């Protein structure tokens, strides 16, 4: 178990900005994680769980608590029949590579989503018509109070749009069983390449961001509302509504977390005034 103090969270989050965390603890085994969560529970300390930080923004004032992370040992991926058993610290890109190497289909949609499998399961991440819900068979969790582990079925995960039961329970995913099907490696590879091409064409991938900033409001598309409100390119400090994809807020260089949050409020208010639709952030905003 590694403990770091006064950690610059810009290095651990894909917006590449934000304040410092009082402490970061990296666990290497489920037992370490159980022990840590027990002690956090007993002491009542504040904490968050962080995956790859691709959907998390830490406020400039930082986070006066413990950032819990899963270490290298949680990145293993192995095949069992048509299933992949993955540590939840594994990156989606690594899972996609393994699925391709094993000739397993079903994970193509997620191959270009940044982040860890744990974060993707928590968020029920999705793209191009697929979502984690479709392929997650089981998730092994460590209970938030460190009282033990449990195995949840896909149904018990209560997945819906960008939501899973982990949001409510605070349990931590440590491993995930994915249900895939045997496929033709050439077709799998071609599909992944095509989705990567579409992503690179439509998204401002060269700038730090958290992807689509807002959730899709029922019956609308956030990016379209923002564009129709004339907000493409709107800038606060170093933060900007992407010119390429209005659903993205990007760090054009030197953005503070406050720039991003101020821009978020501005976009929310203008879209609400024009269309009466309340945009809710998909990005998890953490801190003091």
Ligand X SMILES: Cc1cc2nc3c(=O)[nH]c(=O)nc-3n(C[C@H](O)[C@H](O)[C@H](O)COP(=O)(O)OP(=O)(O)OC[C@H]3O[C@@H](n4cnc5c(N)ncnc54)[C@H](O)[C@@H]3O)c2cc1C
Kindly list the catalytic residues: 162, 212, 282
49 binds ligand X (CB under 6 A): yes
Beta carbon of residue 40, minimum distance to ligand X (angstroms, whole number): 14
Question: Can residue 242 be called a binding residue for ligand X (CB under 6 A)?
Answer: no
b/e sequence 149-173, b meaning 16+ C-beta within 10 Å = beebebeebbbeebbbbbeeeebbb
Residue 223 binds to ligand X (criterion: CB under 6 A): no
Helices (H) and strands (E) in the chain, counts: 7, 19
Least CB distance to ligand X at residue 76 (A): 14
Q: Which is nearer to ligand X, 125 or 279 (CB)?
A: 125
Per CB under 6 A, the segment of 26-34, 107-115, 216-224, 260-268 that binds ligand X is 107-115
10 in contact with ligand X (CB under 6 A): no
**For 86, phi and psi rounded to 5 degrees?**
-125, 140
CB closer to ligand X, 143 vs 270: 143
Three-class SS of residue 127?
strand
Residues ≥6 apart with Cβ < 8 Å to 230: none
Report whether 122 contacts 158 (CB < 8 A).
Answer: no
CB 248 within 8 A of CB 212: yes
Q: How many binding residues for ligand X (CB under 6 A)?
A: 33
Nearer to ligand X, 267 or 286 (CB): 286
- Interface positions with ligand X (CB under 6 A): 14, 48-56, 70, 88, 113-116, 118-120, 122-123, 125-127, 166, 172-173, 203, 205, 209-211, 284
């Amino acid at each position: 178990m590694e403990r770091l103090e006064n950690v610059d969270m810009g290095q651990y989050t894909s917006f590449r900005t934000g304040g410092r965390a009082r402490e970061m603890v990296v666990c290497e085994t489920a037992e370490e994680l159980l022990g840590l969560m027990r002690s956090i529970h007993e002491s009542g300390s504040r904490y968050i769980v962080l995956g790859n930080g691709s959907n998390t923004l830490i406020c400039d004032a930082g986070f006066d608590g413990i950032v819990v992370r899963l270490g290298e040992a949680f990145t293993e991926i192995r095949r069992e029949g048509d299933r992949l058993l993955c540590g939840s610290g594994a990156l989606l890109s690594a899972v996609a590579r393994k699925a391709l190497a094993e000739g397993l289909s079903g994970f193509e949609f997620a191959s270009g989503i940044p982040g860890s499998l744990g974060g993707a399961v928590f968020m029920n991440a999705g793209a191009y018509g697929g979502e984690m819900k479709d392929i997650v068979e089981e998730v092994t969790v460590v209970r938030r109070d460190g009282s033990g582990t449990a195995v949840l079925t896909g149904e018990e995960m209560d997945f819906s749009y960008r939501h899973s039961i982990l949001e409510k329970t605070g349990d931590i995913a440590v491993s995930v069983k994915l249900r895939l099907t045997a496929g033709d490696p050439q077709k799998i590879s071609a599909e992944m390449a095509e989705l990567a091409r579409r992503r690179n064409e439509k998204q401002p991938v060269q700038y730090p961001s958290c992807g689509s900033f807002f959730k899709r409001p029922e019956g609308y598309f956030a990016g379209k509302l923002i564009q129709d409100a004339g907000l493409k390119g709107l800038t606060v400090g170093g933060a900007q509504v992407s010119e390429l994809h209005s659903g993205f807020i990007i760090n054009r260089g030197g953005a503070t977390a406050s720039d991003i949050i101020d821009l978020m409020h501005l976009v929310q208010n203008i879209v609400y005034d024009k269309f009466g639709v309340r945009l809710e952030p998909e990005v998890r905003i953490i801190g003091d």
